[in-house]
């Protein structure tokens, strides 16, 4: 017979603690959440981090600024090029390096491909968390095309180190342009299929609607950004709010939803892929000729004393690099503000009192990448 | 949000407010706070709709500096606020005002040993429990710099015409070439 919890004087005596992770599949990495459960309801949640801490900020203080570029890719393995972009942007701003226009175009094209790739992986993995096995096969099929395209030009498939201070390491060729155009066509033709297969599914609706609701005020208190924030109706995107690179030249929308629940951020991410395709298409059309690397970049890049900040829109939200320089070529302090760190910190408040199965829905909607949280 | 109105309120709390060039530094305002004004400042920022971008510590002399970064969802207004910790490395927490600061403060406690007074749960977050006294980002003797060494210098006056400094310029050339080696 089930225990009637309500009749007990203090139901706390009947709570128990369960470790979710560090090896749980739906935490997508080594993250542990201490759940205090009452039956199937999560009454208290305490995320435990740091399993994958690799001291990136300490490493940054021990080597020349330029050599930190590969480390940026190891933080967010899904948005490596965008992390490259933010760091290159920071140093170019601080040292006053001009970037050739063609290089900026290539950066935007590859960054947006990287963003789509990240969203596709999230799409497949999130639905897998929710029990739908098939979509990940389709999503990975599409994602594979992006990896092939980027592998040809960057030389790696995941942890890219393609951008340099002053440009990119290698020019793109005709093959890149042709295959990217073919990919745009392909992914566009697949969107209706994704929508038919998944978005209208009644199980998905039941799992996502009204689960994990956020408000703009809550987002401000926790510093939540990215698709989660845009799901609450705030059209805050770094590419528009603090334009960097050549984004102001392109015509694209910032998808928003109003409800702020898991379904809202799900739809926002889904529509963002279409907007990224639009940006890539425009960039390919307007791709200028010219060099891809600034002519004069000092080997020893000295950053004038002072502090600098550069923010870009990563797939999960606002990524900021904050550099304190003492005038040498080694940073005095480098702080990386990663979006998942702030996004995850909202979990104890967002998921309190939720069903355990809804906790999985809500955590998946955060699109967590644990290495960028632990750094 | 009316920025002039907000600025007036900042003035009642802060020692200096500096307008800085966004194109160079990535910030619009640089604000130096007294240690005991940090909580009032955070409350004000929350009321004005700012969100907490980041919170971190920087080890300089005379004391560890805690740096708060705020930005706004509606208009571009990036604010950098800073305050020094006291002799016991203590400063008031803002985790009850901006709940997102909870983790940032725990991280600063791990990496720099800053103690946030009245923090709800100042337990190691990024580092393991046994590394609680490690404080890996504290600078060692010799690498620790003064606060003025990491502050932005006012722009230097434009160099004089080349013809005038020719003899000096010839001397300085090898050194300049060394530091600006072309790639």
Q: How much is the average pLDDT of A353-375?
A: 87
Confidence label for A225 from pLDDT (cuts 50, 70 and 90): very high
**pTM for this predicted structure:** 0.86
Q: Residue A204: inside a domain, yes or no? A: yes
Q: Residue A11: inside a domain, yes or no? A: no
Q: Residue A192: inside a domain, yes or no? A: yes
Per-residue pLDDT at B177 exceeds 50: no
- The confidence score (pLDDT) of residue B70 equals 92
**Where is B8: in which H helix or E strand?**
helix B3-13
Which is more confident, A84 or B4? A84
Q: What is the CATH number of the domain that holds A343?
A: 1.10.645.10
Tell me if chain A has a CB within 8 Å of the CB of B181. yes
pLDDT in tens, B22-66: 888 888 888 888 888 888 889 988 988 899 999 999 998 888 999
pLDDT in tens, A306-321: 889 999 999 999 999 9
Map out the domains of chain B with their CATH numbers: 3-179 (3.30.460.80)
Q: Which domain holds residue A99?
A: 58-349
Residue B29 CB contacts under 8 Å (≥ 6 apart), including other chains: B10, B17, B18, B19, B20, B77, B78, B79, B80
- The confidence score (pLDDT) of residue A6 equals 52
- The confidence score (pLDDT) of residue B183 equals 44
Confidence label for B76 from pLDDT (cuts 50, 70 and 90): confident
- The confidence score (pLDDT) of residue A15 equals 84
Confidence label for B68 from pLDDT (cuts 50, 70 and 90): very high
Q: Residue A355: inside a domain, yes or no? A: no
Nearest 10 degrees: Cα torsion A293, A298, A302, A307: -20
Tell me if chain B has a CB within 8 Å of the CB of A92. no
- The confidence score (pLDDT) of residue B163 equals 53
Q: Residue A3: inside a domain, yes or no? A: no
Q: Residue A75 corresponds to which tokens in the numbers above?
A: 């933080």
Q: Residue A12: inside a domain, yes or no? A: no
pLDDT in tens, A283-338: 999 889 888 888 888 888 888 888 899 999 999 999 999 999 888 889 999 999 99
Which whole-number Å values give the CA distances from B96 to A221, B13, B33, B93, in the listed order?
10, 19, 19, 8
Q: Residue A373: inside a domain, yes or no? A: no
- The confidence score (pLDDT) of residue A227 equals 92
d(CA B23, CA A96): 10
- The confidence score (pLDDT) of residue A5 equals 47
- The confidence score (pLDDT) of residue B171 equals 47
Q: Is the ipTM of this complex over 0.90?
A: no
Q: How much is the average pLDDT of A329-348?
A: 91
Cis omega before residue B62 (within 30°)?
Answer: yes
Contact B182 A309 (CB under 8 A): no
Q: Establish, for the pair of chains A and B, how many residue pairs have beta carbons separated by less than 8 Å.
A: 137
pLDDT in tens, A55-113: 898 999 889 988 999 999 888 888 899 999 999 999 998 888 889 999 999 999 999 99
Query: How many angstroms separate the CA of residue B172 from the nearest CA in chain A?
Result: 17
Tell me if chain B has a CB within 8 Å of the CB of A93. yes
How many other C-beta atoms can be found within 10 angstroms of the C-beta atom of residue A25? Answer: 10
Contact B54 A223 (CB under 8 A): yes
Number of domains in chain A: 1
Chain B residues with beta carbon closer than 8 angstroms to that of A45: none
Average pLDDT, chain A: 88
Chain B residues with beta carbon closer than 8 angstroms to that of A61: 137
pLDDT in tens, A237-282: 988 888 888 899 899 999 998 888 899 999 999 899 999 999 999 9
Q: Residue A46: inside a domain, yes or no? A: no
pLDDT in tens, B108-148: 998 998 999 888 888 888 888 888 888 888 888 888 888 88
């Amino acid at each position: 017979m089930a225990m009637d919890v309500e009749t007990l004087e203090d139901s706390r005596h009947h709570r128990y603690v369960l470790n979710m992770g560090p090896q749980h599949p739906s935490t997508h990495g080594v993250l542990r959440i201490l759940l205090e459960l009452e039956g199937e309801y999560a009454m208290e949640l305490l995320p435990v981090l740091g399993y994958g801490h690799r001291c990136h900020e300490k490493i940054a203080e021990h080597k020349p600024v330029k050599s930190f570029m590969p480390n940026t890719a190891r933080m967010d393995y899904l948005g490596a090029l965008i992390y490259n972009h933010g760091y290159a942007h920071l140093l170019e701003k601080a040292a006053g390096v001009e970037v050739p226009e063609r290089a900026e175009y290539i950066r935007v094209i590859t960054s947006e491909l990287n963003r789509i790739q990240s969203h596709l992986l999230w799409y497949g993995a999130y639905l897998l968390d929710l029990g739908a096995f098939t979509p990940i096969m389709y999503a990975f099929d599409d994602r594979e095309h992006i990896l092939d395209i980027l592998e040809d030009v960057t030389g790696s498939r995941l942890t890219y180190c393609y951008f340099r201070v002053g440009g990119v390491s290698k020019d793109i060729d005709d093959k890149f342009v042709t295959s990217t155009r073919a990919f745009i066509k392909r992914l566009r033709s697949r969107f209706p299929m994704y929508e038919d297969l998944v978005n209208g599914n009644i199980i998905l609706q039941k799992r996502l609607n009204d689960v994990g609701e956020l408000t703009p005020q809550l987002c401000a208190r926790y510093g939540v950004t990215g698709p989660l924030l845009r799901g609450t109706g705030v059209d805050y995107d770094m590419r528009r709010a603090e334009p960097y690179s050549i984004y102001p030249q392109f015509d694209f929308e910032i998808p928003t939803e109003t409800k702020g629940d898991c379904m809202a951020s799900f739809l926002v991410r889904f529509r963002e892929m279409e907007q990224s395709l639009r940006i890539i298409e425009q960039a390919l059309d307007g791709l200028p000729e010219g060099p891809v690397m600034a002519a004069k970049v000092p080997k020893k890049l000295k950053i004038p004393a002072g502090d600098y900040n550069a923010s870009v829109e990563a797939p999960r939200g606002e990524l900021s690099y904050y550099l304190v320089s003492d005038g040498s070529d080694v940073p005095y302090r480098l702080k990386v503000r990663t979006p998942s760190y702030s996004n995850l910190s909202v979990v104890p408040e967002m998921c309190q009192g939720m069903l355990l199965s809804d906790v999985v829905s809500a955590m998946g909607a955060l699109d967590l990448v644990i290495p960028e949280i632990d750094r | 949000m009316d920025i002039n109105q907000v600025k007036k309120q900042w003035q009642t709390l802060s020692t200096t407010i500096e307008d800085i060039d966004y194109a160079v530094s990535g910030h619009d305002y640089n604000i130096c706070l007294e240690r005991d004004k940090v909580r009032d400042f955070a409350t004000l920022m929350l009321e004005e709709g700012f969100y907490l971008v980041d919170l971190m510590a920087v080890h300089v002399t005379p004391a560890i500096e805690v740096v708060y970064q705020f930005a706004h969802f509606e208009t571009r207004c990036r604010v950098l606020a800073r305050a020094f910790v006291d002799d016991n490395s203590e400063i008031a927490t803002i985790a009850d005002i901006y709940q997102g600061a909870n983790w940032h403060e725990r991280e600063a406690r791990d990496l720099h040993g800053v103690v946030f007074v009245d923090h709800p749960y100042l337990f190691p977050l990024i580092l393991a429990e046994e590394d609680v006294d490690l404080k890996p980002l504290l600078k060692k003797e010799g690498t620790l710099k003064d606060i003025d060494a990491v502050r932005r210098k006012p722009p230097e006056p434009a160099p004089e015409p080349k013809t005038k400094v020719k003899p000096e310029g010839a001397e300085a050339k090898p050194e300049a070439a060394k530091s600006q080696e072309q790639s």
